[in-house]
Homo-oligomer: A and B are copies of this chain.
Amino acid sequence: MSQSIIPATIFNNIRIVLCQTSHPGNIGSAARAMKTMGLQHLYLVKPDKFPDAHATALSTGAADLLERAIVTETLSEALTDCAFAIGMSARKRYLSHETVGARVAAIEASKIATNQPIAFVFGTEMSGLSNAELDCCQMLAMIPANPEYSSLNLASAVQVMCYELRMAILEGKIDATEANELATNDALEGFYAHLEQTLLHIGYLNPAAPKKLSERLRRIYARARLEKEEVNLLRGVLTLTQEPRKHNKY
């Protein structure tokens, strides 16, 4: 099926999520950076201070983004309805997470955003994303930086990432995706909860010594980029796994 791509749709399907930002000024600067590149949906997970006069002052002409910003308690809430989440990382952290440069991430994400919402997730100023936050992401993106001094300011990182998104969308590198619909974050979380509960049920997961089993399984499925139908299929397997064993019908 051939599909014409409207850049406005792609821009509208991209959200920027800032996790536990310490300095409200950085929230304002990030909003300004987003708006200069045509992005508008800002999510704030547990910001230290918000709303705040400092944030508004530094947003200059982008105060409208702050007014419409959505504040949540957890990253998972901020990812509601998202089909794909890319975590920003200053360094290669996990071999188990697919890690790409900002330019490639922008192209990959824009393709999915032609028909589903996606998110770029930024961690705190001091320590980036926590492991639990990374486990909510399906891909990691790095901004190539000086190995001797790679500490980009939060708003600068938002600026570069949003610039690459604008370049990817407007330079016509995006083909309408022919792929099937990806599972939303909610569907994935439902599956992970079902999986964990099944592993407890069958006695594979020992709550007293979980050995990061859930995290390792999440990363496998994150890399697989599960489609909506595939989640249903896997959950069917889980449901059957928990049923009392019947005779093998084959």
Contact = CB atoms under 8 A, between A and B. Distances in A.
Copies of the polypeptide in the assembly:
2
Interface string A48-64: 00000000000011100
A46 B62 CA distance: 30
A35 interface: yes
Contacts of A153: 29, 32-33, 155, 159
Contacts of A156: 29, 32-33, 36, 155-156, 159
A247 to B, nearest CB: 61
Given A156-B155, A156-B156, A163 B149 contact: no
A149 B145 CA distance: 27
Nearest to A90: B36
Contact of A167 (B144, B155, B159): B144
A205 B149 CA distance: 52
A167 B36 contact: no
Contact of A149 (B62, B146, B159, B160): B62
Nearest to A170: B144
Contacts of A62: 149
Interface of A: 29, 32-33, 35-38, 60-62, 103, 143-146, 149-153, 155-156, 159-160, 163, 166-167, 170
20 contacts: A32-B156, A33-B152, A33-B153, A33-B156, A35-B146, A35-B149, A36-B146, A36-B149, A36-B151, A37-B145, A38-B146, A61-B149, A61-B151, A103-B167, A144-B163, A152-B159, A153-B155, A156-B156, A160-B163, A163-B163
